[in-house]
Amino acid sequence: MKKIFVLLLSVTFLSCEGPQGPPGPPGFDGVNILGNVFDVSVDFTPGNGYSNLITFPNNLEVFESDVVMVYLLEEQISDPSGPIDVWTPLPATFFVSGGSQVVYNFNHTFLDVNLFLDGNVNLDTLGPGFTNNQIFRIAVLPADFVEQFDVNIENYNEVQSALKAQNPEFEVRSF
């Protein structure tokens, strides 16, 4: 163990640094693969059947292959820099008196998300802590169906060829 530590320590001190070499060729523009997130506040009432249909914002393009995740703001923790949100992924089950359960859940299409309250309790008897002003975070993560990229990712040349097929401007490089 001492030998490994001494070896690592000596390599750290013996690292060399020289003049910066010439810049490489410019790269290709990347593709934005970041997801989108937005928050909504809803009330679950007998009038809406304890369900809320949330349409995706117009500035957000959602594809059928995208992954949609929903989180419930369960609580906020005090911190000197400000409150810290605690998000719980759906479905989220909470136990109420007598062992009954209340479940926040969702389903979605590429057009909207349906948030709903369910459980083995009479939902009409739930207090406002379960039904009013519930805040959800909806995350849309871009994804493609895996069948569209049937490539052995361990084979560099095969990956390069597949990328070239998807984008004719892509330059295949050999090493």
Q: Round to whole Å and give the CA distance between 52 and 74.
A: 18
- Taking alpha carbons only, the member of 27, 113, 98, 25 closest to residue 67 is 113
pLDDT of residue 173: 58
In a domain, 163, yes or no: no
Give the predicted TM-score (pTM) of the model: 0.65
Q: Which residue has the tokens 């070239």?
A: 164
Name the 3-class secondary structure at 55: strand
Q: Which residue has the tokens 């934005």?
A: 32
How far is CA 171 from each of CA 25, 27, 29, 127, 161, rounded to the nearest angstrom? Answer: 12, 10, 12, 61, 10
In a domain, 112, yes or no: yes
Q: Round to whole Å and give the CA distance between 110 and 61.
A: 9
pLDDT of residue 92: 95
Q: Give 12-60 pLDDT, tens digit per residue.
A: 555 567 788 888 787 776 665 678 899 999 999 999 999 999 999 998 8
The kind and range of the H/E element at 86 are strand 84-89
Would the pLDDT of 99 be above 90?
Answer: no
In a domain, 14, yes or no: no
The CATH number that applies at residue 128 is: 2.60.40
pLDDT of residue 49: 95
Q: Are 113 and 70 in contact (CB under 8 A)?
A: yes
The parent domain of residue 71 ranges over 36-145
Would the pLDDT of 3 be above 60?
Answer: no
In a domain, 85, yes or no: yes
Q: Are 113 and 37 in contact (CB under 8 A)?
A: no
pLDDT of residue 172: 57
In a domain, 153, yes or no: no
In a domain, 165, yes or no: no
In a domain, 67, yes or no: yes
For the chain, what is the domain count?
A: 1
In a domain, 7, yes or no: no
Q: Round to whole Å and give the CA distance between 139 and 109.
A: 13
